[in-house]
Amino acid sequence: MQALGKHILVEFYGCNPEKLKDTKMLQTEFENAADMSGATVVDSTFHTFSPYGVSGVVVIAESHLTIHTWPEYGYAAVDLFTCGDTVDPWKAFSYLKSVLESNNTSTIEMKRGQLNDFEGQLRHKPACA
Amino acid sequence: MQALGKHILVEFYGCNPEKLKDTKMLQTEFENAADMSGATVVDSTFHTFSPYGVSGVVVIAESHLTIHTWPEYGYAAVDLFTCGDTVDPWKAFSYLKSVLESNNTSTIEMKRGQLNDFEGQLRHKPACA
């Protein structure tokens, strides 16, 4: 069965808490991770929470990367959702694991948009208007 | 086992294709859906793709809502990721199902950030700095 998207749900445990607080660094590194996986960055928005913790999103032409951090637990929830054959979200995963210095990860890969009755090649959005 | 977040992965099939192309309406309705579920909107960014299709993200204080649409297949991939006890992402789900006029949905609810060895109450990010 064909699917439009590939979505990796990542739990990064045992991270360096300082990395999970650094909003500016996380934004830069998430954009780097998108580049590295072959994705095209369209936009990104990262926010710092009180007393600490970061939420961030990179919108890519091929869907999105997101992160939510809990420095107090050394934990980050990361989603790597990509479409098309030219992007490899696992490259972003490996890079971000290293960036966050996570020593314990859990991942689930889901197929998104499974079309039972469609024949031919599935398209993803190729370019931002 | 306690978890920091609740993540609903939604496949909306059989949607009205015109709804899936309307970037401005989708942004407004996703912000409405966040409000309705009890979440606090921090930021949102929606983009139109060529020839059609929309990607959008609403960052909430309690994590995020995202959508990616394929009007040509009547399909939208939606993620509703929330933290804390005061937000009910299923309210957003019901509202968005109606907005998109989806006649066929598939949902999976995942727990995010399951902490085995933590005792006490888990916190989510209460306020944007």
Domains plus CATH for chain A?
A: 3-114 (3.60.90.10)
Per CB-CB distance under 8 Å, the chain A contacts of B81 are 66, 68, 77, 79
User: Above 70 in pLDDT, residue B54?
Assistant: yes
CB contact under 8 A, A68 and B73: no
* Confidence (pLDDT) at B128: 47
* Confidence (pLDDT) at A128: 47
* Confidence (pLDDT) at B124: 59
A58: nearest CA partner in chain B? B57
In terms of Cα–Cα distance, which of A112, A129, A110 is closest to A42? A129
Nearest beta carbon to residue A55 from set B55, B59, B115: B59
Per CB-CB distance under 8 Å, the chain A contacts of B49 are 61, 125-129
* Confidence (pLDDT) at A43: 97
Q: Which residues of chain A have pLDDT under 70?
A: 117-129
Q: Is A30 on the interface with B (CB under 8 A)?
A: no
In terms of Cα–Cα distance, which of A79, A77, A105, A85 is closest to A14? A105
User: Above 90 in pLDDT, residue B129?
Assistant: no
- A127-128, strands of its sheet edge to edge: A127-128, B41-50, B54-60, B63-70, B75-83, B2-13, B104-115
* Higher-pLDDT residue of B71, B123: B71
Token pair belonging to A127: 């370019």
- Quote the ipTM score: 0.91
* Confidence (pLDDT) at A58: 98
User: Above 70 in pLDDT, residue B118?
Assistant: no
